[in-house]
Amino acid sequence: MTDGERLTAILTQYAIPCEKVSFHGKLDALAAGLGIQTQGRLMGDVLDDIAVKTGVERDDRLYGTFIRKLYEDVTSGEDTTLSGSPLTLTECIGGKPFGTLHVYGKSTQNGVPLPTAPVPIVSAGDGGTVVVTVSDGANNSQTLTLQTPNALCGIPVASSGNYTDENGRQWVCDKVDLARGVRVQRIRKIKVTSSLNWQTAGREVDRYFAWFNGTCTSNVLCTHFSTALGSETVGGAIANHNNLVGFAFAEKGTTTLDDFKQFLDENDVFIWAALATPVETDISADEVAAYKALTTYAPTTVISVSGGAGLAATYRRRKAAK
């Protein structure tokens, strides 16, 4: 590779347009793009200013040595990881594969459920797929379609989540780890039935509770009850780390356990709860190949995903000019 070709690559990474083909023309364009004056100045002085702006040490007076050093620095960069959805990756080195790319599940409800007014739980990938789009924020884009046979579920938690969204909220959620080529299930959809070993509690409500084996119930989502209401409000639910979930079914003293069991027999009540042990399955070879084909755009790459899913990505970020 010639020094002129290296300058072209450097200009591309800094997103500096240049129509000139000569070495000096490209150097002038680079300097101008970095806000450096070139008129009537010696090349050595211009290169000194470029070195200061880019943070690349100029340890001798040979321009070729400096251009090669600048090229290596700008096109190698350093790993940076972001999470949220969508993701805007800045200072990208163009044409680089992602170090990692994770797609996280999320489950939500449009309203607060009650025993008499259930609210469906909607998860990313309920339709069987999610689509990841990688673009330059304008006209160029790449897409990756991921199969989600069991959706990608996720429940909000106060702490110890495996994903933090763009608002700083933590979630325990399913994940597609594209670098490893696996789908990690962390959330299980469980039908609440009358055959469970039910107990009775509650000071101000008739609350019925049971243990759900194989789960870690720091929080749950439920079609007919809500942890947001608290344990002593009708319609409320309570969950703890001992796999115990309780449901505030009615005002204190107005129902029996048989009434609650009958309610469960007559209604499809479900909870979404975290598994005590995650389950991993391989994604398809085609999905892995499609992921490996994705590359970044310089200087900005935007990653989005359908269905309300979350994202985390590791990418190569060039050193920004000072």
For residue range 187-212, what is the model confidence (pLDDT) as tens digits? 999 999 999 999 998 889 999 999 99
Beta bridge partner(s), residue 129: 147
- Residue 318 reports pLDDT greater than 80: no
In sequence order, the 6+-apart residues with CB closer than 8 A to the CB of 288 are 178, 181
Report d(CA 112, CA 126) in Å as an integer: 20
Neighbours of 73 (CB within 10 A): 17
- φ/ψ of 301, rounded to 5, equals -125, 130
AA letter at 49: D
- φ/ψ of 222, rounded to 5, equals -140, 145
Report d(CA 195, CA 265) in Å as an integer: 9
pLDDT band at 322 (very low <50, low <70, confident <90, very high): low
Q: What is the pLDDT of residues 68-88, one digit of tens each?
A: 888 887 777 788 999 999 999
Report d(CA 176, CA 184) in Å as an integer: 6
Q: What is the dihedral of CA 225, 227, 233, 235, to 10 degrees?
A: -10
The residue ranges of DSSP E strands in the chain, in sequence order, are 78-84, 87-89, 100-104, 107-108, 122-123, 129-135, 141-147, 154-157, 163-164, 170-173, 175-177, 182-191, 199-201, 205-211, 215-222, 237-239, 244-251, 270-282, 301-305, 310-317
Q: What is the pLDDT of residues 255-295, one digit of tens each?
A: 999 999 999 999 999 999 999 999 999 999 999 999 999 99
322 and 151 Cβ atoms separated by less than 8 Å: no
pLDDT band at 320 (very low <50, low <70, confident <90, very high): low
Report d(CA 132, CA 170) in Å as an integer: 21
Query: What per-residue confidence (pLDDT) applies to 51?
Result: 83
Q: b or e along 99-129 (b: 16 or more beta carbons within 10 Å of the residue's beta carbon)?
A: eebbbbbbbebeeebebeebbebebbbbeee
Whole-prediction pTM = 0.81
pLDDT band at 61 (very low <50, low <70, confident <90, very high): low
- φ/ψ of 15, rounded to 5, equals 55, 40
Q: What is the pLDDT of residues 14-50, one digit of tens each?
A: 778 888 888 888 888 888 888 888 888 888 888 888 8
Q: For 6-39, give the DSSP string.
A: HHHHHHHHTT------SHHHHHHHHHHHTT---T
For residue 177, what are its two tokens?
């780890």
**Rg for the chain, CA atoms, rounded:** 28
